[in-house]
Amino acid sequence: MKAIVISAYGAPEMLHITDLPDPVPAAGEVLIRVKAFGLNHAEAYMRAGTWGDVAAVPGIECAGLVEADPSGRLATGTRVVAILGGMGRTRNGSYAELVTVPATNVAAVNSSLDWPELAAVPEVYATAWNGLFGNLGLRRGERVLVRGATSSLGQAAVNLAVDHGTNVLATTRNPAHAALLKELGAEDVLIDDGHLAAQVSGDNPVDAVFDLVGNSVLRDSLATVRPRGRVCQLGFLGGFEPVHEFNPITDLPTGVQLSFFGSAFVLGSPEFPLSDVPLDEIYAKVEAGNLPARPVRTFRFHEIVEAHRVMEAGEALGKMTVTVD
């Protein structure tokens, strides 16, 4: 099979197309013929070596057809999406014509969307859904702050929160991106200078924060929510440096709940089953035009280096996908 491999840790040019033996599914795995895969910042971190030694073939999600399922649960030719399960991290990932994935991380999909559109949903929407409704327990009528909202995951969170009937404050560091977030349904857009607590006040406080910026603004995020509010951290757009001298006694407001959701480590586990995520409902809303989740740009397999360049430059302003021919 053709596969994209990390020849050495470093820049996008370290991604090369090569031939590898076809993978064979073990018990508890599904072999998928990949038709398209989504691009994620996690794959750039893996390619660069930021997360240490990882699998040779990147890719943490895909859409495709079942090639073989030793359990017999999924018939050959079934349309599926697959998310994580160690892909790209502890086992070869989806940047390939074929990939084996733990069965717990594979979901059959009932949708007429084409392959790039199917591939644009799984990782960001499964993560956003768990953060908003699992960790934060977001309820209709509440007010949620999505910090880092122009990222593909941030946009997914805005879309799901608006669709759920909540009021969304969205943040961006670039004023030019405010119009995009308004189009997604954000009631207001804040320009994030690292100090949002002073901007979020008055008679309509924030009930919850969906934080993708991470450690660099954690103290500020905790200060933006109302008493007994909730903060969920899901990303590290502001860098991986730990919070310097974090002290719960002084930094964690009394009654405020802080949690973390790391999809790479738990999604598909018994505690966080993929079946909890309403993927078919999400796809139906995408088809109907109620969730603007279609990819903003799609690349061909041989354009993977350019795709990673665009992703790292932050030029796309939305989810990008790659087709496998």
Nearest one of 63, 52, 47, 143 to 99, comparing CA atoms: 63
Output the CA–CA distances (angstroms, integers) from residue 274 to 211, 226, 310, 322, 325, in the order listed.
Answer: 22, 31, 30, 23, 27
pLDDT at 278: 97
**Per-residue pLDDT tens digits for 241-262:** 999 999 999 999 999 999 999 9
What are 275-318's pLDDT values in tens digits?
999 999 999 999 999 999 999 999 999 999 999 999 999 888 99
Q: Are 233 and 219 in contact (CB under 8 A)?
A: no
Place of tokens 């899901």: 234
Q: The pTM is what?
A: 0.95
| Spacing of C-alpha 310 from chain mean position | 17
- Tens digits of per-residue pLDDT, 65-112? 999 999 999 999 999 999 999 999 999 999 999 999 999 999 999 999
User: What is the dihedral sign for C-alpha 81, 132, 48, 46?
Assistant: negative
Q: Which of 278, 280, 322 is nearest to 120 (CA)?
A: 322
Cα three-residue angle 135-141-146, rounded to 5 degrees: 50
Structure tokens at 265: 């480590």
| CA separation for the pair 59, 83 (Å, rounded) | 9
Half-sphere exposure of 8 (CA within 13 A, CB side): 3
Distance (Å, whole) CA 307 – CA 294: 17
Instruction: Name the average pLDDT for the chain.
Output: 96
DSSP code at position 240:
S
Cα–Cα distance, 232 to 210 (Å, whole number): 5
From CA 70, how far away is CA 65, in angstroms rounded? 15
Tell me if residue 215 falls in helix, strand or coil: helix
Cα–Cα distance, 90 to 105 (Å, whole number)? 14
Confidence of residue 203 (pLDDT cuts 50, 70, 90): low
Answer whether 322's CB lies under 8 Å from 37's CB. yes
Structure tokens at 133: 């409704």
Percent pLDDT > 90 in the chain is: 94
Confidence (pLDDT) at 315: 85
Among residues 18, 6, 81, 85, which one has the least CA distance to residue 43?
6
Q: Is the pLDDT of residue 172 over 90?
A: yes
Give the confidence band of 325 by pLDDT, cuts at 50, 70, 90. confident
112-148 pLDDT per residue, tens: 999 999 999 999 999 999 999 999 999 999 999 999 9
Which residues have a Cβ under 8 Å from the Cβ of 266 and sit 6 or more positions away? 272
Cα 5 to the chain's mean position, in Å? 22
Compute the distance between CA of residue 278 and CA of residue 50 in angstroms, rounded to an integer.
Answer: 32
Tell me the domains of the chain and their CATH numbers: 2-120+268-323 (3.90.180.10), 124-261 (3.40.50.720)
